[in-house]
Structure 1
Amino acid sequence: MSMPCFAVWAPWGSLIMAGAKDVENRRRPAPARYTLPLEVLVYQGARWDHTLEMGRFVDLLGGQAQVAELLARAWQRERILGWDLIALWLGLQIDLARRAILGTVKITGCRQDSKSRWAAPGAWHWELADPKPFDRPVTYLAGRRANSFFLAPSPNEHELFKPHDGRTRRVDVRVECPDVMITQPGRWGNPFRTRRVDSRWAVEQWDRDFGQWVDLRNRYLKPYGPCDTKAAALGACIKAYESWLRSNGQLMARLPELKGKRLGCYCRADQPCHGDVLVRLAEET
């Protein structure tokens, strides 16, 4: 089972969990496929949001000018220290964990005229309530940008906290937490894809030099296409990936790093995936 999740930069996720931030500013309204109020997971990414001045941040939290100036100087010396001082001064019990799911919160409304001091002009204001932080943030390699909205494992099904059994295997990141992401644009991502052309299927490769997808039938002989069915094209895509991987000495040398890890991708468990190639080759090393 999966549950809606939205990603934010640090420290906003921590402040949402502390109950200090009651509005999330977005360019778009909440997804129409969901009915509000909606309980969602809160994922805090690795990146810190340095776009807001420290003084303005303290003002939003109801601080005084002198304290804002003091914290601003601390911010210039050591940015993380600045946040720690704010937490200490405000008495907030916040966890600054990054690349982690921190807990759940309810999206109670979505409007453009919120009266909250956190509401930014011209943005959609997702109104938040009832934050429930986890006892321990769950490390989760979402492979998603901040401000994105996606599906993650549902903690209600205990899948998010499923212990690793020590086997090298591919997992659907919407169902189980991975140890290593193998999606693009990462090191282990698949540079090949399938695309329908008229009534047949082509296998294409991303060309870094030209910045575009190249049809493999113009570069390689069969079995890399064209194919009559999507299933055949997916099989050819996986074969092309294995051939490409075996020819890459640097990646082959790093395959042992994947041994005993859960390799995260967005392919469903019943779909063919290049992660199966990585699992097999990692176990062979």
Structure 2
Amino acid sequence: MAAHSEVRALTLWQPWASAMAYGTKRIENRRWATDYRGWVLIHAGLTTDREAWDLPLARPFLKRPQPRGAILAVGRLVDCHENDGYCTLWSAPGQWHWKFTDLRTLVKPLPWSGARGLWTPTPQLVASVREVIAHAGR
């Protein structure tokens, strides 16, 4: 994550936040599109998606502890496109597919309150995430 780049954050319900941070999920499904491209902090909200039990890809993440109310990872949002019939196994029909690359999981969740939509984190939060990433690289 570049020192002077613009950063946003996105709160995801569990188990989707954990699937992004600790699994292979690189598509986030949303009902709305964004023109933003760049670094996004992945925040685990306090809510669990009850429908996730019906989805085989989500079950492994539901069977382990799920951090809540914390930043779990940071990734680069590189694309946002309408449902094209098939994007990845994680893609949901009728949704906008937000494509992430360069995901970096924090070694320890960073407690923080989330928000709705694509939100702007405080400079303090961004600095804390950068510090955790730099410390992990040593």
TM-score bin, normalised by smaller chain: 0.7 to 0.9
- Structure 1 residue runs of 4+, over 3 Å off? 154-157, 159-162
Aligned-residue sequence identity (percent) comes to: 26
The aligned residue for residue 196 of structure 1 is none
The 8 Å contact of residues 9 and 120 in structure 2, kept in 1 or not, is answered as yes
Higher relative contact order (CA 8 A, sep 6+): 2
Which residue pairs with 2:24 in the alignment?
20
Count of equivalent residues: 125
Superposed displacement of residue 47, structure 1: 0.9
Q: Give the whole-Å Cα distance in 2 for the aligned partners of 1:155 and 1:39.
A: 16
Distance 1:104 1:161, change over 3 A: closer
Using a 3 Å threshold, how does the CA distance of structure 1 residues 122 and 134 change in structure 2: closer, same or farther? same
Please tell me whether the aligned partners of residues 7 and 44 of structure 1 are also in contact (alpha carbons under 8 angstroms): yes
Identify, as 1 or 2, the structure richer in strand.
Answer: 2
Quote the RMSD (CA, aligned, Å): 2.9
Q: Which runs of 5+ in 2 are unaligned?
A: 132-138
* Equivalent position of 1:153 in the other structure: 122
Contact conserved, 2:43 with 2:71, CA < 8 A, in 1?
yes
CA distance in 1, matches of 2:42, 2:101: 12
The TM-score normalised by the length of structure 2 is: 0.75
Q: Name 1:131's counterpart in structure 2.
A: 103
User: Which protein has the bigger helix share?
Assistant: 1
Task: Mark the CA change 1:159 to 1:17 in structure 2 (over 3 Å): closer, same or farther.
Answer: closer
- Could you tell me how far 1:108 is from its partner in structure 2? 1.7
Q: Determine the structure 1 residue equivalent to 2:68.
A: 98
For 1:159 and 1:118, locate their aligned partners in 2 and report how far apart those are by CA, in whole Å: 30
CA distance in 2 between counterparts of 1:110 and 1:124 reads: 7
1:83 aligns with: 63
Gaps of 5+ in 1: 62-67, 72-79, 85-94, 163-285
Q: TM-score, normalised by structure 1?
A: 0.39
Q: Which amino acid aligns with 1:6?
A: L
Contact 1:40 1:106 in 2 (8 A): yes
